[in-house]
Structure 1
Amino acid sequence: MSFHELLTRAVRAPDRVIRFGPHPDQVIDVYLPPRVTSPAVVLLHGGFWLSRYDRSHTRPMAAALADLGHPVYVPEYRRLGQAGGGYPGTFDDVAAAVDLVLAERPGRGGIVVAGHSAGGQLALWSAARHRLPASCPWHGEPAIDAVVALAALSDLGEAFTAGLGDGAAARLVDGRAELLDLTDPVRLLPPAPATRLALVHGVRDRLVPVGMSRRFAARTGAALTEIQDAGHFALIDPLSAAWPAVTRALSPALSPALSPALSPARPRAAWQEAASVLHLAGRARQASAEVTTAH
């Protein structure tokens, strides 16, 4: 399965389009289910934050999730190669889109934020905005129930140093390593106590190494599902063998298991203290991460 196959697959148009700014890409596509039976999902697309990759390749996934009962919101955001893309515009747009979805759903509880690849970095970052300085315009405490990070660029600093995506991570922050303190999910640990984390990663991923998810799971105790025969794009393809693992990660019935670190058996305060120590020491010491292997 390839990226181009996802682009050519027939899929229904969104039921609504919400505009949240004057730029043509400050929009959110909304896919509504026949009947709401599952939590709302904000789906953040990947593509190394580059303008040549837009939300269109996630449309099959968005439509499939809507068919499963999820209201699905697919934000577009300004990207590298566009006016305002990268730092700070990409982060401005993602924060605004998530907040808009939550404001549109008052009294309906939180949401699940799912993200693939670079979108996984943005999803994890969205759930860490409470860790930003109060003076930062992105600071907030959005009611995010869970983050499902698919083949996520979860360690922006590692991507920066390794030059993943032909140096896209460095371009995202204008080559300024000091901005990683505001944008890198690893540097903003721990996540909010009420937010559960699940990671899914294909072992055969050649674009984002599975080791990145393994290290993030070790730091946080998040559940990690590794799919032995999956590459990078299988995780967003509803026709792939990897798809059941993705839907299980999104399932509200499994939500208590999404992050063992936040289960009642482990006090939240103790987990937060341990995660902070790991972060400050800069060590990827093994935490009690739950790793599931799928074929």
Structure 2
Amino acid sequence: MATPTRQPDRAGERRTPYGSDPSQFGELYLPSGTPRGVVVVIHGGFWRSQYDHTLGSPLAASLSEQGWAAWNLEYRRVGNGGGNPATFDDIAAGIDKIADLGLDTTSTVVTLGHSAGGHLATWAASRGRFDSWQPDRVKVSHVVSQAGVLDLRQAYVDQLGGGAVENFLGHPPTDADDPLDSIRQVPLDIPVWCIHATADTNVPISQSQAYVDAMTKAGATAELHAVPGDHFVLIDPSSSAWADTLAHLDTLG
């Protein structure tokens, strides 16, 4: 296995495309020594193009400081060519690109996503079930969902993000969209850790509660960690919520 090369421009950051679109790239943040594992950071923003990878950059930098290789993933979003199925294609291809980065992808590969990114992080663990996203070259071993939109149908009913689900899918969710809906891919055969703030008004904690309940009832491994604060405290590297997330990752690698 090739040794990852640190870049001098910023603390291990290296931008690498995984496709030809300007939004198809990842930024790799490397620790100073051998990585403990890989964390794929998937930003949120209700899948809309006005929100981008810079939401995940502080988390990726923090992860590399803690010994992780962090792959801060950008993808096409609604408004710049994304939505269904392009966003799913990008998440699958972006994760599989890690196989070309000289990293160990046979042990710990965590998808960590916030809000809509939490939906994509959990979905990514099920992508190998479907012909459209096979073969999945890099297997996800753990999921961390930060206030994830984990039930698209309920999010549509609740009109989260002012109609974000319908905008993302291109229509109201139906049975045909079940392969794209995290809660309808339960159970996963890997553990999912959901962290959610109790005062979140953007994505209510009931989204994580329902997902964890469905996973545990199905005999799968899932845990809800509730913290004080709002939707964005989870992606503040100075917050106790982020400290809790790092502590959870410590148990994985």
Instruction: Tell me the TM-score normalised to structure 1 length.
Output: 0.76
The Cα shift of 1:138 comes to: 1.9
Query: What SS does structure 2 have at the residue aligned with 1:109?
Result: coil
Pick one of 144, 160, 182 that aligns with 2:140: 144
Which structure: greater helix fraction? 1
Q: SS at the partner of 1:80?
A: coil
Cα separation, 2, equivalents of 1:183 and 1:111: 21
Preserved contact between residue 248 and residue 254 of structure 1 (Cα < 8 Å): no
Matched, 1:241 2:240: yes
Contact 1:16–1:31 (8 Å) recurs in 2: yes
Q: Residue type of the partner of 2:124? A: S
1:50 to 2:45 alignment: no
Contact 1:129 1:140 in 2 (8 A): no
Map 1:1-295 to 2 at 5 A.
12=10, 15-82=13-80, 84-104=81-101, 105=103, 108-132=106-130, 136-141=131-136, 142-178=138-174, 179-191=176-188, 193=189, 195-221=190-216, 222-227=222-227, 229-251=228-250, 253=251
**SS of residue paired to 2:192:** strand
Partner Cα distance (2:62, 2:79) in 1: 30
Question: Structure 1 pair 56/13, CA: closer, same or farther in 2 (3 Å)?
Answer: farther
Q: 1:13 to 1:159 in 2, by over 3 A?
A: farther
Offset at residue 223 of structure 1 (A) = 1.1
Q: Taking structure 1 as reference, are residues 139 and 181 closer, same or farther at Cα in structure 2, changes over 3 Å only?
A: farther
Change (3 A) 1:107 1:14: closer
Give the whole-Å Cα distance in 2 for the aligned partners of 1:173 and 1:219.
23
Give the conservation status (yes or no) of the 8 Å contact 1:131–1:189.
Answer: no
Deviations 1:225-253 (A, max 9, x none): 000x22111111111121221112222x3
Q: Distance in 1 between matches of 2:238 and 2:30?
A: 20
> Does the 8 Å CA contact 1:51/1:81 hold for their aligned counterparts?
yes
Name the CA shift for 1:68/1:174 in 2 (closer, same or farther; >3 Å). same
CA contact (8 A) 1:86 1:172 kept: yes
Mapped to 1, the partners of 2:104 and 2:231 lie a distance apart of: 35
Q: Percent identity?
A: 36
Structure 1 residues 106-161: Cα deviation after superposition (integer angstroms, max 9, x where no partner): 564241111110000000000012333xxx31244542110000011011111122
CA spacing shift, 1:81–1:107, aligned 2, 3 Å: closer
Q: Assess if the C-alpha contact under 8 Å between 1:127 and 1:147 holds in 2.
A: yes
Letter in 2 for 1:230: G
Distance 1:88 1:37, change over 3 A: closer
5+ unaligned residues in a row in structure 2: which ranges?
1-9, 217-221
| CA radius of gyration, larger in | 1
What is the SS of the residue equivalent to 1:137?
helix
**CA distance in structure 2 between the aligned counterparts of 1:201 and 1:127, rounded to whole angstroms:** 20
The aligned residue for residue 6 of structure 2 is none
Aligned residues: 237
Q: Report the AA paired with residue 145 of structure 1.
A: S
